[in-house]
Structure 1
Amino acid sequence: MEALFSRFQRLLSETNTDFLRYLHDKIIWTDRMIAIVGARGVGKTTMMLQRIKLHHNISDTLYVTADDMYFADHKLLDLAEQFVKMGGKYLFIDEIHRYANWSKELKLIYDYLPHLQVVFTGSSMLDIYRGTDDLSRRVQLYTLHGMSFREYLNLRYHLQLQPLSLDDVLHHNVAFDGVDYPLAAFKDYLNNG
């Protein structure tokens, strides 16, 4: 378990918190069990690590990835129980879909460890609802979509652009202060965003 803490602390030290995705402030982080789903590479891992870095004490928080070799010989439930015995309160699990019997063990963690908050990521909302055990009543589910053009501009140009409605875009003259060539920026967004 010490190796898990070591890897977690290294990842956390490398996590940048300058830019937060739109979903970060929409999640009710006090819920007991939170799932963040989305396509590969949209920022689920980064969002969890940013949340930890900004709002949690690492002495009672642990981040693990479910495809870690540690889980070849250890069960997730056993890890959670041991972590709680050490004073753990917040368990963040990345890539939960890579762990066999994940839905059953998450249900048991929820039922057996009522003071442990669990946040996990997965690739599919359907996996959570189709799991062998009924997690849908226990989990608050959030979907992280790919980065929007507005988010891309905020990240690339260090801006604070607010969301626009479709009506605003279609019927009003929309300017992006700080972006001299929005069409060039859009092309860059399509290639790299």
Structure 2
Amino acid sequence: MSDVVPLTGEPLALDLVNTRPRLADGPADLLATPDALAAWLALQSDRLAGSGLQDAHAPAAGTWARLTAGDVAAVHAVREHVAAAIDHVRQGGRPPAAALEGLNAAQRAAPAIRELTWDGTSVTAALRRTGPLGGRLAAWLAEAAADLLADPSAGRVRECEADDCVMLFLPAHPRRRWCSAARCGNRARVARYYQRHKSP
């Protein structure tokens, strides 16, 4: 993974799109390799509980160690569909039909079911997805995108106002301007301070 720490804490679909930041030397892909994808999934570990992604008999680290280039490609495809759909929706437009169909297809490829088991004393139900790991990841991410796109708040998604930032966020406060106060907000404040105090 790049030395750039991915922006997390937004709705999962936005966190996914935000894995394509713009750096000083151009665009970057924070999910370019299986190891980078595994590192991002580790950052999302709190959201993975109950997702049906992890193998029942393997810890998360063991599951992510098996990621392949094909799994990365499946996640990239979903990311492109999410980015296209969100870009149109946040501007009040209709999302491209291909983006919606791509997200629907990803969900259909590995639907989540509530699998029933007997634990010796009672029946338990746990969410489970079947199929290749990349398909399960793509389905989970496409489902998160569906949740966001179907929510009226999707129209409030904004792009960071920093000149060199392309990160998206869903503002909890209408005056929020930056993806992160610690990243872009601080840089903007420092730049304004410098402009006010520089010698004429």
Fold match, TM over 0.5? Answer: no
Normalised by the length of structure 1, the TM-score is 0.33
- Tell me which of the two structures has the higher relative contact order, counting C-alpha pairs closer than 8 angstroms and 6 or more residues apart: 1
Normalised by the length of structure 2, the TM-score is 0.32
